Amino acid sequence: VGAEKINTDIVTLTRFLTEEQTKHKEATGDFTLLCHALQFSFKSIAYYIRRSTLINLTGLAGSSNTTGDDQKKLDVIGNDLFIAAMKSSGRVRCLVSEEEEDLIVFEEHPNARYAVVCDPIDGSSNLDAGVSVGTIFGIFKLPRDAKGVKEDLLRPGTDLVASGFTMYGASTQLVITMRGGTVNGFTMDNALGEFILTHPNMRMPKKRAIYSVNEGNSLYWEEPVKEYINSLKYPEKEGGKPYSARYIGSMVADAYRTLLYGGIFAYPADKKSTKGKLRILYECAPMAMVFENAGGQAVNSNMDRLLTVVPQHIHDRSGVFLGSYDEVQKVIDVHKKYA
Ligand code: AHM
Ligand code: MG
C-alpha cells in the first residue's frame, strides 16, 4: 500500500460550529445546539432516502399535502424527522414546513428564541427515480416579545440569521451561511458519520454560460423572460456561443450546481402561475441568502431583491432568478427595458 496522506486535522461541522460560536462573545450556545439538531435531521433524512427503495418507502402514501401536491411516504417521514429534531432541540419556538398548512408552535418551549422555516424534502417528484432531492432551511431569531404566531415569521429574508440546504445526491452535501457571513460546504462522510468541511468560503463564478429553467413553461412566459432566454440561446453577436441548458427539476440540485459552476437558475412567475411556483419563506429566501453571500444575486419576477420580499402568508410563492452576479444582472437589464 502506498503511503496515503492522511489529514488528521479534519474540520467537522461540529468543530466549525464550535469555532464560530467562540467568535461571538454574546453567544449562549443556543444557536449551536439548534444546528446540532439540524445536522441530525439531515443525517437521518439522508439515511432514509438511501434505504428507501430497499424498505419500500417509495410511492404514494395516500395523503396529499396542504398545498395540493401528491405526497410521498418519504415526504411524510422527512417532515416528521425534521419536526422531531427541531422540537427536541428545545431551542425552537415555532416552525413552518412546506408539508404543514399551519405554523407549528412548540408550546413546551415557550422561551425558545428561534423560529425555523423548511422544505424537508424538496424535489420529491424525483424520489422514485433516485434523482437528487434536498432539504432547505432558514433560521430566524425571534424578537423578545414574540408570541409564537405566524406574524413572527412574515419577515424578509434579510432577517434570517442563517440559512442553507442539504442535497441528498451521490453524496450528501450541506451548504450553510450566516447573515453577512461566508458560505461553507460540507460533505457527509458516511463512515465517520460526520459532515466534513470540504468547500470553505464558497464564491460563485461571476458568470457562466449555463441556464436552468423548465422550458416546458415557455408558452406561459411573459415577454421579458422570453426575450432573456432567447438571448441566451440565439446570441446576437456573430459567432457567439449559445448557453448550455441544465435542468434537474430539484431546486436544491439545480441551485447547488449553479452555486459551484456559475450560471443562472430560474423559476419565473408566468401567465399560468402568476405568483410563481416556489415558496418565498422556505425555498426562495434561504437560497437567496446563500447566493448573495457567495457573491451572486437573487431577484423575484418584479426584479426586487428577493431577500427584501415580505410574504403575506407563510406559504406564499414567488418567481425566482438566482445565479452568478453578471447572469442575474442580464435578467434585470432585459426587464428594465419593459418597465
Ligand atoms: P416540491 O417542493 O413540491 O418538491 O416542488 C418544488 C420543486 C423544486 O425543487 C423544483 O425547482 C421545481 O419544483 C420543479 O418544478 P417543475 O416540475 O414545474 O419544473
Ligand atoms: Mg419544495
What local confidence, expressed as pLDDT, does residue 62 receive? 56
Query: What ligand is nearest to the CA atom of residue 253?
Result: 1
How confident is the model over 332-339, as a mean pLDDT?
95
Residue 83 has what pLDDT? 98
CA distance 61 to 59: 6
Q: Are 90 and 112 in contact (CB under 8 A)?
A: yes
Atom 5, ligand 1: which residue's CA is nearest? 123
Residue with CA nearest ligand 1 atom 2: 122
Pick the more confident residue, 183 or 68.
183
DSSP result, 263-301 = -EEEE---SSSTT-SEEIIIIIHHHHHHHHHTT-EEE-T
Helix axes 30-51, 13-23, angle to 10 degrees: 160
Residue (of 158, 135, 162, 163) closest to 48 by Cα position: 135
Please tell me the distance from the alpha carbon of residue 76 to that of residue 97, in angstroms, as a whole number: 11
Whole-number Å distance between alpha carbons of 146 and 113: 9
Confidence of residue 39 (pLDDT cuts 50, 70, 90): very high
Asked whether the predicted pLDDT for residue 45 surpasses 80, the reply is yes
pLDDT digits (tens, 9 = 90+) for 53-88: 666 666 555 555 666 555 558 889 999 999 999 999
* Atom 12 of ligand 1: nearest residue by CA position: 249
Say yes or no: CB of residue 69 within 6 Å of ligand 1.
Answer: yes
Is the distance from the beta carbon of residue 98 to the nearest atom of ligand 1 less than 6 Å? yes
Instruction: List CB contacts of 249: < 8 A, sequence separation 6 or more.
Output: 123, 125, 126, 131, 214
pLDDT at res. 187: 98
Amino acid at 59: G
Residue 192: predicted pLDDT: 94
pLDDT of 326 above 80 = yes
pLDDT at 145: 83
State pLDDT tens for residues 207-246. Answer: 999 999 999 999 999 999 999 999 999 998 888 999 999 9
Q: Ligand 1 pocket test: pick from 168, 251, 264, 316 the residue with the most ligand atoms within 8 Å of its Cβ.
A: 251
Mean pLDDT over each residue of the chain, to the nearest integer = 93
Asked if 123 and 135 count as a contact pair (C-beta separation under 8 A), the reply is no
In this prediction, residue 152 carries a pLDDT of 93
Spatial contact of 194 and 13, defined as CB atoms under 8 Å apart: yes
Q: How far is CA 176 from the centre of its chain?
A: 9
| Whether residue 124 has its Cβ less than 6 Å from ligand 1 | yes
What 3-state DSSP class applies to 330? helix
**pLDDT at res. 23:** 87
- Range of lowest pLDDT (105-109, 145-149, 230-234, 305-309): 145-149
Centroid of ligand 1 to alpha carbon of 216 (angstroms): 13
pLDDT beyond 90 at 299: yes
pLDDT for res 59: 58
- Among the listed residues 250, 256, 247, 251, the one whose alpha carbon sits nearest the alpha carbon of residue 210: 247
**What is the structure's pLDDT at 24?**
84
**Is 250 a pocket residue for ligand 1 (Cβ < 6 Å)?**
yes
> Of all protein residues, whose CA lies closest to atom 7 belonging to ligand 1?
123
Instruction: Indicate the pTM of the whole model.
Output: 0.94
Q: By mean pLDDT, which of 15-24, 37-46, 111-120, 187-196 is the weakest?
A: 15-24
